[in-house]
A and B are shown apart, each in its own frame.
Chain A
Amino acid sequence: MEEHNESTGVPGAGISTSAVEILVSLIFLLIGGIVVFDSFRLGASWSSDGPQAGYFPFYIGFIICVASLVILGQTLFGKSGRSGKVFVEWSALKQVLSVLLPAAVYVVGIQLFGIYLASAVYIAAFMIWLGNYSWFKSIALGVAVSITGFLTFEIWFQVPLYKGVFDPLGFLGY
């Protein structure tokens, strides 16, 4: 286990499982509702030439709604529901977010600057901040991975990857 002493409250405290359980079942209920709604829009019955487009999805949506309601009920009224178990401790959540948030920033980076540049920066930054590596090592590895990717995809397999809205590497001609 890594050393990340709890700067955030009591050890073992965190988001409760039942809260997440309820949230997820509500999301399922919403998705089920959307599917049922759209099926009715498309027509969920029988037309002259056979079942309509919403015929099958209607049942799917309906089952999602039923299943999510049962899970919701089990969480709210069941024995295991209010056991007060912890879904994720705050310290662990911090660890998870320290990967997830940069990953989201990375995807924005891809959107704007393309896969190659964003990947090099992302790997370097990750190593510097979370791995405490030297700037030189981190940047070198980031650039190396990107170049390897470039050679593999653009040149050997001739699969063009996303270049981004601004296309900063456009001068290379790929």
Chain B
Amino acid sequence: MLEDINALFHGFAVALTPFNLLLMFIGVTLGVIIGVLPGLGGANGIAILLPLTFSMPPTSAIIMLSCIYWGALFGGAITSILFNIPGEPWSVATTFDGYPMAQQGRAGEALTGAFTSSFIGALFAVVMITFLAPLVARFALQFGPPEFFAVYFLTFCSFIGMGKEPPFKIMASMMLGFALAAVGIDTVTGQLRLIFGWHELMRGFDFLIAVIGLFGIGEILLSMEEGLSFSGSSAKIDPKIVLETWKKLPKYWLTSLRSCLIGCWLGITPGGATPASFMSYGVAKRISKDGAKFGSGQLEGVVAPETAAHAAGTSALLPMLSLGIPGSPTAAVLLGGLLIWGLQPGPLLFVEQKDFVWGLIASMYLGNIAGLVIVLTCVPLFAAILRVPFSIIAPIIIVICAIGAYTVHNAMLDIWFMLLFGVAGYVFKKLAYPLAPLVLALVLGDRAEDSFRQAMLIAQGDMRIFFSNWLVGSIMALGLVMLFWPLVSKLLASLRASKAPA
């Protein structure tokens, strides 16, 4: 434990160089802009900027990219409260009470509440990462291929067990990701798979292209359909309002703590920030004594979802760092960055790349403080971006996406794939096929397959290896419970329903 605190201070030394601090501020500012703009979000914003960091030292690169992520998390709240337009899916729940508050002229209070609770949520999650991630990584050092496959299995089954979309759609979307990941050269045998003589496909489908298309172009198409017109309340935060709001916030400490826990739980298991924010809002509404007034502009109704969303968004990095398994699409993009910079994600990262890991963790503390300062002082500036008409913003975002898609591999074909993924993203979203499992499967596909094959090699094709010891067995069993959870919960519900009348 003490060793970890030492390492953390060393990390601060790494993160606190002027160059890294500059990148931190650039990252947060870019992130807030990305979070405010429709069609650009944490995942695809980072995906687009990733190629620009290829030449940077990995630690600086990840500091900038992760700060973009914090910025995007903060930025989502601005549009939800001022314009009733959630810039990010995880800020939908913030609109429920945030927008009514803005309409009553309490925008400053709502924004301060949202930013501060985001900050607290993130801080809670970072502290947890600081102490838990090294432990998990140390534990995972004993993992062999069967254990790793079991963890992958659990990750993907959690999507089915905890997703709110129809289970078979989650499954279809996830397996599509695995299938796309298989396209190209098979790393073990060197054979070409699924390319049918089309040699440009040898590269395979890069998940960055998928992320840019699915989340970027798809989102633009969705916004277009809704016919966006931005009309929002004006934003001004003066120090007096900030202080007054901060005085009110301690009252909601229980809500905050509960939201932190919900957020961390859903962030580590791949539930993600969006369900975390909804769940936290729902729970707060049920438990709070002002629950009935929720939806009419309660500060507590802003605190709950924002805290949870940030806690979840941040803690999604825990499995990414310690196991090499990302908890959210954005974490997946950061993981892709690690691979590109030549770092092998997984438990060994904590042993071999101490500077990198602890620099990143230290930058999480600093980045969130920088983020809080920037958003509190610059809200009017960011809100002004939204007043730029959509017919100017939309083509520029599409141009940025196209450039981003091209720079991943310098391949023209990728721009076409981006467009195709964009249409798929639009249709999938409307039909409730979830996108996150697709992206995660595309990222992890090859590695999941490798660990499966290695496990099979060890066991000579005997599936019982996945239950050969208590560790792998219990992870697999948990995975199976998750997989069949929709079925189980349905059975339980029908049992309860049949008992009720009697």
Contact = CB atoms under 8 A, between A and B. Distances in A.
Interface string B132-168: 0000000000000000000000000000000000101
A147 interface: no
Interface in B218-236: 220-221, 224-229
Interface string A24-43: 11001001101100100010
Contact of A160 (B179, B229, B395, B410): B410
User: Interface range on chain A: under 10, 10 to 19, 20 to 34, or 35 or more?
Assistant: 35 or more
B257 interface: no
A133 to B, nearest CB: 8
Contact of B453 (A21, A24, A56): A56
Interface string A154-174: 000101111000000000000
A124 to B, nearest CB: 9
Nearest to B418: A107
A96 to B, nearest CB: 5
Interface in B163-200: 166, 168-169, 171-172, 175-176, 178-179, 182, 186, 188-189, 191, 193-194, 196
B243 interface: no
Contact of A24 (B396, B410, B431, B449): B431
A98 B221 CA distance: 10
Contacts of B188: 50, 53
A4 B228 CA distance: 12
Contacts of B182: 35, 56-57, 60
B176 A63 contact: no
Interface in A78-111: 87-88, 92-93, 95-96, 98-100, 103-104, 106-107, 110-111
Interface in B409-464: 410, 412, 415-416, 419, 422-423, 426-427, 430-431, 433, 449, 452-453, 456-457, 461
A1 B227 contact: yes
Given A50-B456, A110-B415, A153 B403 contact: yes
A70 interface: yes
A55 B450 CA distance: 11
A126 B394 contact: yes
Nearest to A99: B224
B179 A127 contact: no
B191 A88 contact: no
A20 interface: yes
A88 B430 contact: yes
Contact of A123 (B227, B399, B426, B457): B399
Nearest to B398: A103
B392 interface: yes
Contacts of A25: 172
Interface residues of B, number: 59
B104 interface: no
B407 interface: yes
A115 B406 contact: yes
Contacts of A159: 51-52, 407
Instruction: State the majority secondary structure of interface residues on A.
Output: helix
B225 A88 contact: yes
A63 B398 contact: no
B402 interface: yes
Contact of A50 (B191, B228, B457): B457
Contact of B175 (A42, A55, A64, A153): A64
B179 A35 contact: yes
A17 to B, nearest CB: 7
Contact of A17 (B51, B169, B394, B431): B431
A51 B461 contact: yes
B229 A1 contact: yes
Given A67-B175, A160-B410, A51 B457 contact: yes
B193 A53 contact: yes
Given A103-B419, A107-B419, A96 B221 contact: yes
A32 B180 CA distance: 11
A161 B457 contact: no
Nearest to B221: A96
Nearest to B446: A56
B389 interface: yes
A38 B194 contact: yes
Contacts of A103: 217, 398, 419, 422
A162 B418 CA distance: 15
B419 to A, nearest CB: 6
Contacts of B194: 34-35, 38, 57
A158 B171 CA distance: 42
A25 to B, nearest CB: 8
B391 interface: yes
Contact of B179 (A20, A57, A126): A57
A89 B457 CA distance: 53
A155 to B, nearest CB: 13
Nearest to B391: A131
Contact of B399 (A70, A119, A162): A119
A35 B416 CA distance: 22
A16 interface: no
A46 interface: yes
6 contacts: A96-B426, A115-B406, A119-B403, A123-B396, A131-B389, A133-B391
Given A1-B229, A51-B457, 12 more contacts: A1-B226, A2-B229, A53-B191, A67-B172, A92-B225, A92-B226, A103-B398, A115-B406, A131-B389, A131-B391, A141-B392, A162-B415
Give me the 7 closest cross-chain CB pairs, A-B, nearest first.
Answer: A131-B391, A126-B395, A2-B227, A67-B172, A53-B191, A92-B225, A67-B171
